[in-house]
Structure 1
Amino acid sequence: MTVSVTFAFLFVYLTGPRGLDAGQAGLVAGAGGAGLLAGNLTGGFFGDRFGHRRALLASAVTGGLLLAAVPLLPTPALFAALPLAQYASGVQRAANAALVAVIVPEGQRRQAFAVVRAAANGGFTAGPLLGALVATRLSYDWLYVADGLGSVGLAWWTARVIPARAGGVRLPSPRSGRPAGPARGAERPGPVGPATAPGLWAALRARPAVPVLLGAIVVADIVYRQLYTTFPVYLADHGLDTGVYGALLAVNGGVLLCLELPAALALRRRAPLPVVATGLLLVAAGYGVLPAGPGAWTAVAMMTLLTLGELLYKTPATAYVADRAPAHLQGRFQSLYAGASIAGVVLAAPLGGALYQAAPGLLWPLTTAAVAAAGCAVLVGARLERATLRPAGGAPAGGAPAEPLTETPVAPAS
């Protein structure tokens, strides 16, 4: 997301060129975080109702124009414009994930989401450096203009590359032998299928492993994002400067950029939930080494385990939710996952900061226990899934298909 670059410099921009005090800047930043979460949670509804491609295009253009207009807006207007731009970014994120899930056939989604994350990690690595260069050599105004135009450019590129009715046909299950039927295209609005098609909550009840996974991801994200909140404070309190912290983040981004896609390819035939659980347990192990004693080697061990855990759990979890979603609810399933996966943006700092201030010695043991419990819950979810998909008598439970149907994308029109 291009929007993320400008928001990395938001606080500095508001307290510098715009002249707001820290409290006012914090209010705008907090409202932006709430807007981002709300956009992630509701973006899938727009996609399911109007088409995921349309939702992505509308949100990218809206967010881009708001950002490009920032230099022209009076300071009071930023209290509305910037949170709205973050909301549009959240809708764009959910719509993008749903569009990938609709276009890419089941069985290839892990690799597809790994490619998406590789692009995001590349942007996360290069974006702040380029943003700092633009802000210091030109101005923050140009940073917002460039970021806004980049978002509009993404919409233009998507409109050119993704056909208006991207989708495909449903293939019969090789095991069930069900006949093929028409698939829902990415741009066909409204629910598809019989009038009795289950709603969101009924679909979730029929797939009990999905809510378990979503809850585990919320916990994991709150714990994982201590990396950006309390962890640098912990390093500074133990005599490790910002250079050490920056080097650790660079290692994290570089390893993910190089290894996440190969890992997705190597593990593509493995059941996803045990892979996710293993990743969460590695995140727990990462934070679990910190009480062994502060120091550079402890920090390196922590970052290595944390990076390996992230590499294992994030892509398979995203693809699993896509694979288990009914066609008419793909966007809302992706919205639920997108919201769970950024819960830490809103909750990590206040929860971790309060605990670190009140009882610093308890922070790492409690975060370790919390994410380890989340990993164990995912393993329980895997057992629930097996029970749901293979009940006595062989019929699917709760209306869930014994094997999700595959969608084959139509080639873009020339």
Structure 2
Amino acid sequence: MNKLYQSYLGSFTGLRKEIWLLSLITLINRAGTMVIPFLSLYLTKSLDFSLEQVGWILSFFGLGSVTGSWIGGWLTDKIGHYRTMAISLIGSSLFFVLLQVPDTFWTICLGIYLVMCVADMFRPAVFVAISAYSKPQNRTRSVTLIRLAINLGFSAGPAVGGLIIAHIGYGGLFWVDGITCLIAGLLLLKLLHPKKSVEEVEAPITSSQSAFSDRSYLLFIFTMILFGFIFVQYFSTMPLFYAEVHQLDEFHIGLLMGLNGLIIFLFEMPLIKYLENTKLSALMNVILGFLLCGISFLLLNLTGWIGILIVGMLFLTIGEMIAFPFSNTFALSRSDGKKKGSYMALYSIAFSISHIFGHNSGMHLIGNFGFAFTWYIMLGLAIIGILLLLILRKKLEKETIEISR
């Protein structure tokens, strides 16, 4: 047992102090993001919107995320990741509080769009910050530590959010989101000094190539859109599945979704360290994660046993633990020697596009064909994504051969 414990602690060694501070800031920020997991329930139960209307509102969520990610990448290349993160955190604190004001369809669409424009400026900036504050050999584990902070926050957030809804109402969630974003922004300014960055020391900019002209990277981004399309169902349509088919209330839905973050917090770092020591490439690990996420949807159609919800969540969680860190590492490595802001903005935009089409399509699929059909569609998209990644792997092997000649 002691050897296992020491091995677990060893998986966290070698990371820079700045990465730990960035993780703390991210943890506080994400612990307060309670509105997002309950957004579909808030819109249907509190404001009485239809599933189709919720789908369109969540499309504005994704559209704002795309805009914010693009602005964040542009700002990161212009003013640096530090200032961009500070603007995003402090700005989004105000917008989250104001989001409780609109109550009509179009005002909510506008409110969601503006919130995500500001909030998701943080995403490409934090990715570049990871590259700036970590050594190349520690990138994947640095990404994983940030993800641990995110998921620890998400494990506590939904559970606490369920309690807040039960005792105070949905309005309390907006205030908590705003306050925690403000605290995270102030801590960033207080604890993380921009001059500590070692950005571009390992890989100075030697090419002005745009991410949009990198065809291999664009194919990778397309597969990430598919992966995000599948993944976002667990935060929009899946809570409805839990409530309507299995009759779970908000508190138990929060606990089930919180299980995802708790497992990631406990096991992702050792898992990533183990996988780093295998012969699997970053791309092959992404393929493995894709497969496990696809299986998680298949399992839900095999039985009506309520325990399958936990099993499905376990498969999704393991797939997520593998796919996200290694896809991030692949994107960062592909951006070496180039303008990282544009590359990581495109990586962030991939998941923003998933929000635009994933939530909306999922809601419409469920409304017209039911949950079971929708889960089979998600499995099919996972298979397509895996095939495209295998094609990309062959393409990259050819690129390597051509460079070595």
TM-score higher than 0.5 here?
A: yes
State how 1:142-157 maps to structure 2 within 5 Å: 144-157=174-187
Question: What is the rounded CA distance, in whole Å, between the counterparts of 2:108 and 2:341 in structure 1?
Answer: 30
CA gap 1:223/1:200 in 2 versus in 1, 3 angstroms: closer
CA gap 1:226/1:164 in 2 versus in 1, 3 angstroms: closer
Do the aligned partners of 1:93 and 1:338 also contact (CA within 8 Å) in 2?
yes
In the alignment, which of 211, 216, 224 is matched to residue 217 of structure 1?
Answer: 224
Q: Look up the SS of the partner of 2:137 in the other structure.
A: coil
CA deviation vs aligned residue, 1:330-355 (integer Å, no higher than 9, x gap): 11211111122243333223212333
CA deviation vs aligned residue, 1:342-401 (integer Å, no higher than 9, x gap): 433332232123333433453333321210220222122122222212326x15xxxxxx
CA gap 1:273/1:88 in 2 versus in 1, 3 angstroms: same
Do the aligned partners of 1:64 and 1:85 also contact (CA within 8 Å) in 2?
no
Work out the number of aligned pairs and report it: 367
CA deviation vs aligned residue, 1:97-119 (integer Å, no higher than 9, x gap): 22112221212111111111111
Long gaps (5+) in structure 2? 1-28
Question: What is the rounded CA distance, in whole Å, between the counterparts of 1:238 and 1:88 in structure 2?
Answer: 35
CA gap 1:245/1:295 in 2 versus in 1, 3 angstroms: farther
Question: What is the rounded CA distance, in whole Å, between the counterparts of 1:230 and 1:9 in structure 2?
Answer: 11
- For 1:377, the equivalent position in structure 2 comes to 388
1:283 pairs with 2:314: no
State how 1:125-140 maps to structure 2 within 5 Å: 125-131=155-161
Do the aligned partners of 1:68 and 1:144 also contact (CA within 8 Å) in 2?
yes
Q: Look up the SS of the partner of 1:295 in the other structure.
A: coil
- For 1:341, the equivalent position in structure 2 comes to 351
Question: What is the rounded CA distance, in whole Å, between the counterparts of 1:10 and 1:251 in structure 2?
Answer: 19
Do the aligned partners of 2:152 and 2:265 also contact (CA within 8 Å) in 1?
yes
- For 2:209, the equivalent position in structure 1 comes to 198
Amino acid at match of 2:83: R
Do the aligned partners of 2:58 and 2:356 also contact (CA within 8 Å) in 1?
no
Q: Please tell me the root mean square deviation across aligned C-alpha atoms, in Å.
A: 3.5
Long gaps (5+) in structure 1? 172-182, 185-191, 396-414
Please tell me whether Structure 1 or Structure 2 has the larger radius of gyration of its CA atoms.
Answer: 1
How far has the Cα of 1:253 moved from its partner? 2.6
State how 1:172-251 maps to structure 2 within 5 Å: 193=206, 197-202=208-213, 204-205=214-215, 208=216, 210-234=217-241, 238-239=245-246, 241-242=248-249, 248-251=256-259
- For 1:41, the equivalent position in structure 2 comes to 70
- For 2:270, the equivalent position in structure 1 comes to 262
TM score, norm. by length of structure 1: 0.75
How far has the Cα of 1:211 moved from its partner? 2.0
Do the aligned partners of 2:88 and 2:122 also contact (CA within 8 Å) in 1?
yes
How far has the Cα of 1:287 moved from its partner? 1.8
Q: Look up the SS of the partner of 1:108 in the other structure.
A: helix
Question: What is the rounded CA distance, in whole Å, between the counterparts of 1:294 and 1:337 in structure 2?
Answer: 37
CA gap 1:78/1:221 in 2 versus in 1, 3 angstroms: closer
Amino acid at match of 2:118: A
- For 2:303, the equivalent position in structure 1 comes to 293
1:167 pairs with 2:198: yes
Query: Sequence identity of aligned pairs in percent?
Result: 19
- For 2:360, the equivalent position in structure 1 comes to 350
- For 1:116, the equivalent position in structure 2 comes to 146
Do the aligned partners of 1:42 and 1:91 also contact (CA within 8 Å) in 2?
yes
Q: Which moved more, 1:50-59 or 1:77-86?
A: 77-86
1 or 2, which has the higher helix percentage?
A: 2
Amino acid at match of 2:357: L
1:107 pairs with 2:115: no
Do the aligned partners of 2:131 and 2:199 also contact (CA within 8 Å) in 1?
no
Do the aligned partners of 1:107 and 1:268 also contact (CA within 8 Å) in 2?
no
In the alignment, which of 72, 75, 88 is matched to residue 59 of structure 1?
Answer: 88
How far has the Cα of 1:219 moved from its partner? 1.0
How far has the Cα of 1:295 moved from its partner? 2.1
How far has the Cα of 1:89 moved from its partner? 0.6
Do the aligned partners of 2:301 and 2:375 also contact (CA within 8 Å) in 1?
yes
CA gap 1:330/1:82 in 2 versus in 1, 3 angstroms: same
Q: Which moved more, 1:76-85 or 1:370-379?
A: 76-85
Q: Look up the SS of the partner of 1:296 in the other structure.
A: coil
Amino acid at match of 1:286: S
Question: What is the rounded CA distance, in whole Å, between the counterparts of 2:58 and 2:367 in structure 1?
Answer: 22
Amino acid at match of 2:124: A
- For 2:373, the equivalent position in structure 1 comes to 362
CA deviation vs aligned residue, 1:10-63 (integer Å, no higher than 9, x gap): 6787899xx96648x957665444312321233111101221111111222222
TM score, norm. by length of structure 2: 0.77
Question: What is the rounded CA distance, in whole Å, between the counterparts of 2:309 and 2:47 in structure 1?
Answer: 36
- For 1:323, the equivalent position in structure 2 comes to 333
CA gap 1:132/1:291 in 2 versus in 1, 3 angstroms: closer
How far has the Cα of 1:279 moved from its partner? 0.9
CA gap 1:238/1:337 in 2 versus in 1, 3 angstroms: same
- For 1:304, the equivalent position in structure 2 comes to 314
In the alignment, which of 249, 257, 260 is matched to residue 252 of structure 1?
Answer: 260
Question: What is the rounded CA distance, in whole Å, between the counterparts of 2:271 and 2:89 in structure 1?
Answer: 30
State how 1:77-96 maps to structure 2 within 5 Å: 83-96=113-126
Question: What is the rounded CA distance, in whole Å, between the counterparts of 1:140 and 1:134 in structure 2?
Answer: 7
Question: What is the rounded CA distance, in whole Å, between the counterparts of 1:150 and 1:235 in structure 2?
Answer: 28
- For 1:403, the equivalent position in structure 2 comes to none
Q: Look up the SS of the partner of 1:37 in the other structure.
A: helix
Amino acid at match of 1:167: V
Question: What is the rounded CA distance, in whole Å, between the counterparts of 2:231 and 2:365 in structure 1?
Answer: 15
Amino acid at match of 1:256: I
Do the aligned partners of 2:293 and 2:382 also contact (CA within 8 Å) in 1?
yes
